[in-house]
Amino acid sequence: MLSVTFLGTSAARPTVERNVSGVALVREGETLLFECGEGTQRQMMRYGVSFALSEIFFTHFHADHFLGVIGLIRTLGLQGREEPMRLYGPRGAKKVLTQAISLGVERVPFEVVVTEVKAGDVIGERGKGKGEGYDIRVFGTEHGGGSVGYALREHERRGRFDVEKARAAGIPEGPLWGKLSKGEPIELADGRKLTADGFVGPKRAGRLVVFTGDTRPCASVVDAAAGADLLIHEATFGEEEKERAKETGHSTAQEAAQVALAAKARRLVLSHVSARYSISADELVKEAREVFKESTVAKDGMTIEVPFSD
Ligand SMILES: [Zn+2]
Ligand SMILES: [Zn+2]
C-alpha cells in the first residue's frame, strides 16, 4: 500500500480552510513527511498520521515549509521518543534546522541528524524487508537558493508467477512455488530440476511519486516525473496571475499541468494554492484540466492511494 495525505495545501500562510505545506506519505507501514509547515503536528493528529516517523524532507526554507518542525520535535521529545530523527534539505539545512531544533530552553532528548542534499543525490536502498525497496532521488527545482524536489521510486517488482504453468508442470503447491516465484531453481521429488524460466513473467515497474515543493515549471521536474504515477506539483496561482507566478518563482495551475503532460504522468495533484483559492479552487482545476485531464487540487486531509499501474 502507498498513500499520500495532504496535511497543508495553502501557499505562504495558513487560512481558515488550509494549513501551510505538509504531505505525509505512507508506504508499507512506514511514514515519511515532506515539508513541515507551522501547525503540521496538529494536522497529523487530525488526519490520523502516525508520529512514529523518522524522516522529514524539506524542499527549501521559506517559513511556510519548515516552521512546524520546531513544535513537532518538542512534542516527540515530550512523548519520550528515543529513536533518532533524520532531516533532509538543500544547502542551508544544517544551519536553519539546527537553529529550529535548538530554539527555546528545552533540550531535544533524541538525536536529530540533518543531511544536506543536492540535485542528483540518491537516498537509496530503502524499505528493504517490507516488500521491494525504493530510492528517493533529489532533483533541482527553480525557486532559488538551491531548492529541490523529491522523487520516490520503487524498485522493479518480481514478475508474475504463472500458477497454471506450475500446476501443469506437476510442481506441488507450497514452498516450491515460493522458491520458484522468487526466481530460485528447485528440485522436485522425482529428481527433475527446474529453473524459474517460463514460470515467472518479466519484472514489473514499481511506483513513482514526485513531490516538487515550490517551483517554476521546469525541465528538471519533467525529467524527474517521467511516467510518474503521481505528480504533486505546486500551483500557487491561476492564469490571470501568470506574471506574478514568474516574478515570485511559482507556477500556475496550467503550467503545472503542462509539466504533467510533458512528463506523461498518470495523475497530477496541485497544492500550495494562494489564499484566494482557499475556499474554492475550482478555477485552478478547470485551468489545469484544459491541459491535463487527470488533474485535481488537494484539500487538507485528502488522502490518495497510489495503485500499481499493472
Ligand atoms: Zn511556499
Ligand atoms: Zn517558497
> Active-site residues: which are they?
64
Interval between CA 108 and ligand 2 midpoint (Å): 27
Whole-model pTM? 0.94
Distance in angstroms (rounded) separating the CA atoms of residues 39 and 32 = 17
| DSSP element (H, E) containing 74 | helix 68-78
pLDDT computed for residue 114 by the predictor: 98
The residues, any chain, with a CB within 8 Å of residue 45's CB and separated by 6 or more, are none
Q: Confidence band (pLDDT; 50, 70, 90) for 131?
A: low
pLDDT in tens, 38-92: 999 999 999 999 999 999 999 999 999 999 999 999 999 999 999 999 999 999 9
| The pLDDT of residue 165 is above 70 | yes
Interval between CA 144 and ligand 2 midpoint (Å): 9
Per-residue HEC secondary structure of 176-207 comes to HHHHHHCCCCEECCCCCEECCCCCECCCECCC
Do the bridges between strand 148-154 and strand 208-211 make them parallel or antiparallel, or are there none, so unpaired? antiparallel
Interval between CA 200 and ligand 2 midpoint (Å): 47
| The pLDDT of residue 228 is above 80 | yes
The sign of the dihedral angle between the CA atoms of 196, 229, 298, 67 is: positive
pLDDT computed for residue 128 by the predictor: 67
The residues, any chain, with a CB within 8 Å of residue 57's CB and separated by 6 or more, are 32, 33, 34, 35, 88, 89, 136, 150, 211
Ligand index nearest the alpha carbon of residue 144: 2
Q: Cell triple for residue 304?
A: 490518495
